[in-house]
Structure 1
């Protein structure tokens, strides 16, 4: 399983970004929704292990400007990673308690989709995820038929075998810290077709550059984030239908 050292050592970056969307509840689940509620294409964001960090909302707010409604469910239900004991074992214990797909995330994921389908008659859904959220995006693309496209941004906890299970169009955006995803990509091409997958490796970026570990005040980091957003924008426009 791909789980690089940077994922277990790099802390989140402080950010003073002010989100432009709103927070509401679907049942007992808190959800962040971007400002424009008119788009009929919904993208569900699965963040990294640091939760709903301001960087995650900033990327979502920018992506939404391309004509999407982006929603960020609080899958961790307000629980935070213990930063005083931040290592691989702490991360895995946190994920096991609050972030397993089948036990905790999938029911909330399906609850969000059901809300938009029944309350707003929306049928076009995609998912994108950072680090841990990349793993969740794989699971959603495998088990949730409503998901038509996904983007895996510096994903963690994946194997090449996972590519065999994915059923929706998939964009891969690894960094220099992730294992080579060429084989993963080739499997997707074989199973989904060349027009339903894409792969761009950010060789000058670290794991987490687009999420909570990204320093958006750094010019190059900010440029690469915008590149990643544009790649997602184009991919989702084409495949979330």
Structure 2
């Protein structure tokens, strides 16, 4: 089940700007790098439908520093995330284009394959890494959930303000998982999803927040949003510190 806010609320701020030394290429995909390439632990961070925005960049940098780990963000959309003109889907044309984006470029199944291939090749590039995790925002959370089943390459996983929650995904997970949600997520699925998560997982409702408070929609001019943005990333770091 998808949050209505996923497609109806535009991002805040601007797309992230990175220096050349923050970009590697793995499996034919540009990889944005934060932290030490020689770290012993690493995280793949999967952005939301708008791509890499400044707020997500800030979160990635925080996680890299807090965990003393390598954080990589694959550019699944090759610099072209969901078009802001489609947000709101208030005309048949906009709705058709947004749904086409999810069925094509943003297809979870196709991008899951990219996530796994990038992770596998990244092991050969960042040879000092001993354990990997995956963490996704909004759309990226679906990929993190799907990548948490069976013989996953990840030691732990997580998501925040997730899109497309499905209890079946939680039931299939084989690794600890952290899930942070807002009141914008479909209320009827939250408890069943929480109960289906594997042992040693975490689930928390950020009751004063909204879908996107840790990603491209974060309003970092709001004192309350900044506080909960920081608390969320701190909670995520604490969780992954136990498993990496």
Q: Give TM-score, length-normalised by structure 2.
A: 0.88
Structure 1 Cα separation of the partners of residues 223 and 148 of structure 2: 33
Structure 2 Cα separation of the partners of residues 216 and 15 of structure 1: 12
Structure 1 Cα separation of the partners of residues 47 and 155 of structure 2: 19
CA 80–198 in structure 1, closer or farther in 2 if over 3 Å, else same: closer
Structure 2 Cα separation of the partners of residues 18 and 74 of structure 1: 13
Q: Can you list the C-alpha shifts for 1:31-82, whole angstroms capped at 9, x where unaligned?
A: 0010322321111011110011121111000111111211000011222322
Q: Can you list the C-alpha shifts for 1:1-58, whole angstroms capped at 9, x where unaligned?
A: x212211211010148665770121242100010322321111011110011121111
CA shift at 1:223, angstroms? 0.6
Which residue of structure 2 lines up, in the alignment, with residue 71 of structure 1? Answer: 72
1:183 is aligned to 2:187 = no
For 1:209, what is the secondary structure of its paired residue? Answer: coil
> Are the counterparts in 2 of residues 134 and 155 from structure 1 also a CA contact under 8 Å?
yes
CA shift at 1:144, angstroms? 5.5
Alignment of 1:52-131 (within 5 A): 52-66=52-66, 67-86=68-87, 87=89, 88-103=95-110, 105-119=111-125, 120-131=127-138
Count of residue pairs brought into register by the alignment = 233
CA shift at 1:83, angstroms? 2.0
Which residue of structure 1 lines up, in the alignment, with residue 92 of structure 2? Answer: none
CA shift at 1:147, angstroms? 1.0
1:235 is aligned to 2:234 = no
Deviates more, 1:231-240 or 1:79-88: 79-88
Where structure 2 has 5 or more consecutive residues not aligned to the other structure, the ranges are: 90-94
Structure 1 Cα separation of the partners of residues 218 and 233 of structure 2: 14
> Are the counterparts in 2 of residues 127 and 149 from structure 1 also a CA contact under 8 Å?
yes
**Aligned with residue 229 of structure 2, among 217, 225, 235:** 225
CA shift at 1:128, angstroms? 0.7
1:138 is aligned to 2:110 = no
Which residue of structure 2 lines up, in the alignment, with residue 32 of structure 1? Answer: 32
CA 27–199 in structure 1, closer or farther in 2 if over 3 Å, else same: closer
CA shift at 1:176, angstroms? 1.1
CA 18–102 in structure 1, closer or farther in 2 if over 3 Å, else same: closer
Q: Can you list the C-alpha shifts for 1:126-182, whole angstroms capped at 9, x where unaligned?
A: 111111011111111125621111111000112222211111111110001112322
**Aligned with residue 160 of structure 2, among 148, 153, 160:** 153
